[in-house]
Chains A and B, each alone.
Chain A
Amino acid sequence: DGGITQSPKYLFRKEGQNVTLSCEQNLNHDAMYWYRQDPGQGLRLIYYSQIVNDFQKGDIAEGYSVSREKKESFPLTVTSAQKNPTAFYLCASSSPPRTDYRNTEAFFGQGTRLTVV
């Protein structure tokens, strides 16, 4: 079955540690996204990538880093510089047609809940 797999589902981090969240898709989608979700704030875009080896900062990129070495994979690293990392993180992918790149129907993974302990 095609889809997006995020792992782990739950992650605990000590303060000062970096952690990496995994996101893999087998939908052959070009674009991938990372969102952070906090209660009452909706989904805020962290980073997004249209193609391999290229990515852009979203609205809240500070304290995060990403890589896009393969089309299928878009891991997110939460660094120690992120002051409030406890949140629910969602990865998504889409395949906007060349006829209109605004057509960003996205498919989402099941999320990773990160807690700082």
Chain B
Amino acid sequence: AQSVTQPDIHITVSEGASLELRCNYSYGATPYLFWYVQSPGQGLQLLLKYFSGDTLVQGIKGFEAEFKRSQSSFNLRKPSVHWSDAAEYFCAVGSYTGTASKLTFGTGTRLQVTL
């Protein structure tokens, strides 16, 4: 069965500093991977996705992620964090059960940005 692990529950960075959020996945085939962001009390917004091809994918709001098959990882990065990036970030893997598609999420990483 597929699973996603986000080892960091909470991360604090200073505004302007670089950011890396970790994500490890378990999936038997080529994974479809996603990063979502959630502001407090809101729904989730897609930041970026990876299906195949170039292992470095660009997303919205200046985020990027790198797929590393050998490490089963899909880490999210941003060179310079803005205070508005404070939110919760979720990594997810897409799968198909034979009858339906679904997304499996990690437990999330809450990002705090200090000024």
Contact = CB atoms under 8 A, between A and B. Distances in A.
Nearest to A111: B43
The 5 closest A-B pairs by CB, nearest first: A108-B43, A50-B100, A42-B107, A104-B94, A101-B96
B42 interface: yes
| Interface secondary structure of A, over-half rule | strand
A102 B100 contact: no
B107 A90 contact: no
Contacts of A107: 46
Contacts of B100: 31, 48-50, 54, 56, 101
Nearest to B94: A104
Interface of B: 6, 9, 29, 31-32, 34, 36, 41-46, 49, 51, 90, 94-97, 99-108
14 contacts: A42-B106, A43-B44, A48-B100, A50-B99, A54-B99, A100-B96, A101-B101, A102-B29, A102-B94, A102-B95, A104-B32, A105-B94, A107-B46, A111-B42
A42 B102 contact: no
A102 B96 contact: yes
A1 B105 CA distance: 27
Given A102-B96, A103-B32, A110-B43, A40 B9 contact: yes
Given A42-B106, A50-B101, A108 B44 contact: yes
Contacts of A103: 32, 51, 94, 101
